[in-house]
Amino acid sequence: MLSHEDNEALVRVGPGTPMGDLFRLYWIPFFPADDLEKDGQPQKVRLLGEDLVVFRDTEGRVGLVDHVCPHRGAPMFFARNEDCGLRCVYHGWKFDVDGNTLDMPAEPARSRFKEKVRIKAYPCVERNGMIWTYMGPEDEDSRPPLPNVEWNLVPEENVVITVRVQECNWLQALEGEIDSAHAAILHGRIDSEGAINKWVAARDLRPTFECMRQDFGMSIASKRIFDEQQNYWRVNQFVMPFYTLVPPMSNFPELSGHAWVPIDDENTLCIMFSYHPNQPMYPRTKEIFIEGHKGRESGHASRHAYEPKSPMTPFHKYWTKFKLENGYDLNYELQQSTWFSGLPGLWVQDAACQSGADPIYDRTKENLGTSDTGIAMTRRVLLEHLGAYRDSGLKPERYDDPDLYMVRAISVKLDKEQSWSDDAAHFMEARLGEGFGYTP
């Protein structure tokens, strides 16, 4: 368990908080590029507790600016997106994507007042369908390069990316994905039809865990007995500051994971990616991700899962119908007959367990077991980085090395005398355009 003080340090992400300051050292993915049109309506977002609006100007550049006008606080959500700038509808003040004031119609023609006023703006970069922003120090020389994350570098046909809002703190969501002990249980079936059910019956339900601290974060390895000669290793990865990577399955040979981007203390933007490293995604797999399967959700939020809110709500397009107030559509009859959880699909099962108690869980009440070793060690890594930066201004080592993030999760069979950390280390290195290097 965590002390109350450590829990608070990890979950609070607003401006001026230690965790919020640490996050602001990194580029943050936050918006699908296709959902912004040139001169289209500004979209309200919230990142690390800050309310902002994002827009695409006449020339296609993306701006991320304060949600209120610096004149008299009118909402910039109502602003006119026109002629390479965002114009407040209250008095017509106009700003470009860099935050510069372009026009003040009610001020004297020869006034230089506009040279003294800026709207808060964060730089944005667009890459392979995702918009990224940097919310750290304004000095451009202090920005790290955009991280080379494999899911945002492979060809478009190789990847599926979906976005949804989850109503819980970012750490609860992240910890759910690096915990592989739950998978065969929460996502299992109790009838005779499910592959997971057969795995549980035929294999080892009590994995052995080994963890290794890495420059990029943490590797969490789980070992199950495969047969008399081999062990089956699944290695999940935590990559600073909020990424999780999940190993492929033999029947679903693609890599996947999340960016768990904090919206504020109690809500998380879940950016899920699934990709094949060197070939197009199977059409049927992509269809299941987007459409769901027989009314159930996969690891991705299907197009049927969304229940948009008012445009005044941050990320209003990405809220789903599965939430605490409707019990995440729990079906008790199916829980008795078919699905262990009774919840309608993979990500819904995870979200219900991560969010269903409290938006911020009181970790002083926990009772961690040996299967939670990876979670405990990941918290330790975060607290060490947070403390070093808060107390001494020390940034995580190699945080600004873009290739540090070229990492893969793995699922591999090894002879019993082999070590996952040594004999499978090369499989965990992402090399753009190269395959798995083994058969998942």
Residues facing 86 on adjacent strands: 81, 95
Q: How far is CA 356 from CA 14, 169, 334, in A?
A: 23, 11, 19
Both tokens assigned to 169: 């703190």
Residue 402: enclosing H or E segment and its boundaries? none
What integer pLDDT is reported at residue 190 of this predicted model?
81
What integer pLDDT is reported at residue 201 of this predicted model?
40
What is the domain partition of the chain in residue ranges? 27-142, 150-428
What integer pLDDT is reported at residue 9 of this predicted model?
97
Of 23-27, 204-208, 279-283, 335-339, which gets the smallest average pLDDT?
A: 204-208
Res. 204 pLDDT band, cuts 50 70 90: low
d(CA 300, CA 347): 7
d(CA 78, CA 68): 10
Whether the pLDDT of residue 200 is over 50: the answer is: no
CATH architecture of 150-428: Alpha-Beta Complex (3.90)
Give the pLDDT confidence of 26-46 residue by residue, as tens digits: 999 999 999 999 999 999 999
Q: How far is CA 389 from CA 24, 37, 212, 376, 386, in A?
A: 11, 38, 22, 20, 5
Give the pLDDT confidence of 125-140 residue by residue, as tens digits: 999 999 999 999 888 8
d(CA 79, CA 94): 9
- Global pTM exceeds 0.85: yes
Res. 199 pLDDT band, cuts 50 70 90: very low
Whether the pLDDT of residue 196 is over 60: the answer is: no
Task: State mean pLDDT over 82-109.
Answer: 96
In percent, the amount of the chain with pLDDT more than 70 equals 97
Give the pLDDT confidence of 398-431 residue by residue, as tens digits: 999 999 999 999 999 999 999 999 999 999 999 9
Range 27-142 classified under CATH 3.50.50.60: no
CB 19 within 8 A of CB 11: yes
Task: State mean pLDDT over 271-296.
Answer: 95
Q: How far is CA 63 from CA 58, 75, 418, in A?
A: 11, 16, 51
